[in-house]
Structure 1
Amino acid sequence: MNIEAVDLFCGIGGLTAGLIKSGISVKAGYDIESDCRHGYEHNNNATFVHKDVADVTAQEINDWYSKGVVRLLAGCAPCQPFSTYNQGKDTTLDKKWPLLYHFMRLIEEVKPELVTMENVPDVTKHKVYHDFVAKLEELGYTVSASRVDCVKYGIPQTRKRHVLLASLISSDIALISPTHDEAVTVRDVIEDLPRLSSGEQNKEDQLHICSKLNDLNMRRIKASKPGGTWKDWPEGLIAKCHSKESGKSYGGVYGRMEWDKPAPTMTTQCFGFGNGRFGHPSQHRAISLREAAIFQTFPEDYQFYKGVLMIKSVGKMIGNAVPVRLGEVVGLSLLRGS
């Protein structure tokens, strides 16, 4: 089965790389983040189109596909509006909310044989998602959607995602069965990397670089134990906001990872010790960009930037990405069901 894909909201290309690894040809990716162009095109031999999906037409999508192929339209719309971090906030003016509707519009106009969408599990709590599924069914697609525990597919992080597959050519469409009975742990994938001090960059691997901790955060990480929280610290190290009643529930920040468990979910701020459980299990530092990329299952030779490395920019690319392995699982599932 010859499947060709166009990847909307492609970012740095995690989903694209995974689809290619599974045997699907990806022709192009669309994204509004121009910084992703080099990494996307260099690693995937696909064209990066710097464009808002709201301005994309069905004609230009169809122009990417060869004649006679099975067409796949993939769209992993930015998940921030559906994240638990945003629940209860007023998102009516958030420009990201209409993105699934634009994806839905393109599906209706292009009518690709295959569709896939990946997002956070809480996307199912919102009207836009149910409108999306209803439109697919109205158009005649068989839809399969499920909450995915990435650990069960060999991804070394506790990432939960909602993955939707839809087909016009098969009624037997579903994600492949889990491939791993045992979790891949932090120890399994980063224990052998060269040691780093706070703010250091490895001379042999420029992506193996970590943010520099200030004096206060250095004292905090030294007082932190793997799997613990800031509640373990001496009182003098606890931030004022956490001392308040409203801050006592935020136990997931300023934490160290545990060697023999998967990493936490990578985010756009995963390079910062204070932004989650992103402290190295034993070294007094936050995880490096290389370690974050490994947790996102990017191959060692994947290039994220050209020129000067900007930690914040590359960290955002890595955190926003679909894990490459999850993209591969999606691709294998589509190939099996086609």
Structure 2
Amino acid sequence: MDQRKGEQCMYNVVDLFCGTGALSYGLSLEDSRFHVVAGLDHDADACQTARANHPGAKILCRSIRDLSAADFALEAGLSDVDVIVGGPPCQGFSSLRPKRNSNKNDHRNYLYLDFVEYVGFFRPKVFLMENVVGLIGETKGELLSEIMSDFISLEYDVDFRVLNAANYGVPQKRERLIMVGVNKNLVSKPVLQFPNPTHFFNGRVIGTKRKDKYVTNPARGLPALSVMEAISDLPELAAGQSSDCYATQPDNPFQKMMRKGSTDRLSLHQAAAHSSKMLDVIKVAGTSKNALPEGLVSSGFSSCYSRMEPDQPATTITVKFTSPASSKCIHPYQHRAITPREAARLQSFPDCFQFRGSKTAIASQLGNAVPPLLSKAIAPMLIQNLEGSIRAE
């Protein structure tokens, strides 16, 4: 992007499959030069959330299948795009991709192909694509190879790593596949060096055959943030209760970071109202379903009906974090599932981040989001390439 001498260079960012806009939000937390200009998602509530937190961006609530890159550029009023980010939904990753000339409305089409189309149209200097770790093993690695080949054919240098959010200051053991591409024609010396972990833990990881692509850190830096380190300043609640006041002053740097820019009033700290039967289960719950008395529950995975461990990062926050029957979501000490505010903390959303929609919609947005502190950690890698592009022009 051309800039007059003396002006700060801004990098225009487009966020596809944007959801809450968390992926691009994290970039802007790290560097104000990331300027989110547009986004796209089919979920109306998530789009409202993205608009609230990216007030200068044109967020279109449309299915990407119904909107070509050229039409998107026209509707959003775009010209130069420096960065494209996004996480195509993983539901389509079940078989080899269809032919490119197939019907765009065919459900067998992979949405990642639309991401590729947008990259090919806008030719950004860099792109960032995130997805589930399971993509590595899908179709024995053929699908991932296809995806990378598509970007390479557009003359991008491409690589990926599996990053764990707990290694980057997020109080949650959430693994994501992060792929970065650098436009060889616009960047003088493409750099694909993924961020070094700042925090350590030696927890289990999702197993795949590509161990060479995992970034792990069992011993260096700061200890991973724990659940209680993230939420201990929030007031105690019984099931069905809510509070809009903080319990204490921030107790550690993470809590100070999360409360920066927020008012004295707390939002979204409302506990689910559990049935009496569920409360009976919660009161005797341990760190796995196996801790329950025999016969108390008859179904569910081992992680269901269980408490979060207070001195460890949380397990992956899902869209069902208010339902102990569906996930490991019971508060470490209190007899209830975690609240949306606690889930937001464990996802590293600042308290000032605004969510829109019903309780169910907000839970879905939280469970599907990329932790902002994870994308913040990746931002310097992108900046290094973007600064290289300025020198190359």
Letter in 2 for 1:132: I
Q: Which of 278-287 and 203-212 deviates more?
A: 203-212
Which runs of structure 2 are paired with 1:55-74 in the superposition (5 Å)?
Answer: 55-62=66-73, 71-74=82-85
CA deviations over 1:98-143 (Å, ceiling 9, x no partner):
1111111222233222111001111122344321110111221111
- 1:76 aligned to 2:93? no
**Residue 177 in 1 paired to residue 196 in 2?**
yes
User: Are residue 223 (structure 1) and residue 284 (structure 2) matched?
Assistant: yes
The number of aligned residues is 316
Alignment equivalent of 2:376, drawn from 319, 328, 335:
328
Q: Look up the SS of the partner of 2:316 in the other structure.
A: coil
Aligned equivalents of 1:314, 1:259: Cα separation in 2: 24
Normalised to the residue count of structure 2, the TM-score between the two structures is 0.75
Select between 322-331 and 311-320 the one with higher mean Cα deviation.
Answer: 322-331
Question: Cα distance 1:277–1:130, how it changes in 2: closer, same or farther (>3 A)?
Answer: same
For each residue in 1:54-100, what CA deviation from the matched residue of structure 2 results, as whole angstroms up to 9, or x when unmatched?
12222245455876x66111121123455xxx89xxxxx99486111
Report Cα offsets for 1:168-205 as digits up to 9, x if no partner: 12421232211223101111111121001112111443
Offset, 1:37: 2.6
Provide closer, same or farther for how the CA distance between residues 95 and 209 of structure 1 changes in structure 2, counting only shifts above 3 A: farther
Partner in structure 2 of residue 38 of structure 1:
48
User: Which residue number corresponds to residue 282 of structure 1?
Assistant: 333
Cα separation, 2, equivalents of 1:15 and 1:42: 15
Correspondence 1:296 to 2:344: no
- Using the alignment, how far apart are the partners of 1:277 and 1:329 within structure 2? 26
Could you say which structure has the higher helix fraction?
A: 1
Structure 1, unpaired ranges of 5+:
88-92, 243-249
Higher relative contact order (CA 8 A, sep 6+): 1
Task: Find the partner of 1:162 among 168, 171, 177.
Answer: 177
1:242-294 CA distances to partner (integer Å, 9 max, x unpaired)?
Answer: 5xxxxxxx211111001100011111111222211100000000000000001
The equivalent residue for 1:139 is: 154
Correspondence 1:27 to 2:37: yes
**1:12 maps onto 2:20 in alignment:** yes
Residue by residue, what CA displacement relative to the aligned partner does 1:225-253 show, whole Å, maximum 9, x if unpaired?
Answer: 2x2x22222223122x35xxxxxxx2111
What's the counterpart of residue 233 of structure 1?
292
Letter aligned with residue 194 of structure 1: P
- Larger mean CA deviation between 50-59 and 185-194 belongs to 50-59
Q: State TM-score, norm by structure 1.
A: 0.87
One-letter code aligned to 1:49:
L
Show the 5 A alignment for 1:245-264. Answer: 250-264=301-315
CA RMSD across the alignment: 2.3
Amino acid at match of 1:305: R
Distance in 1, matches of 2:106 and 2:66, equals 17
Corresponding residue for 2:228?
187
> Percent identity of the aligned residues?
29
Q: Is the 8 A contact 1:65 1:71 kept in 2?
A: no
C-alpha distance in structure 2 between counterparts of 1:157 and 1:21, whole Å: 19
Aligned to 1:90: none
Aligned to 2:249: none
The alpha-carbon distance between structure 1 residues 238 and 222, as it changes in their structure 2 partners (threshold 3 A), is same
Aligned to 1:337: 385
Which structure 2 residue ranges, 5 or more long, are not aligned?
A: 1-8, 96-104, 200-220, 246-265, 387-393
Structure 1 counterpart of 2:136, one-letter code: T
Residue identity opposite 1:184 in structure 2: L
CA distance in 2, matches of 1:221, 1:176: 39
Match of 1:313 in 2: 361
Take 1:120 and 1:186, find their aligned partners in 2: how far apart are those partners?
A: 23
Amino acid of the residue matched to residue 119 of structure 1? N
State the one-letter code of the partner of 1:112: P
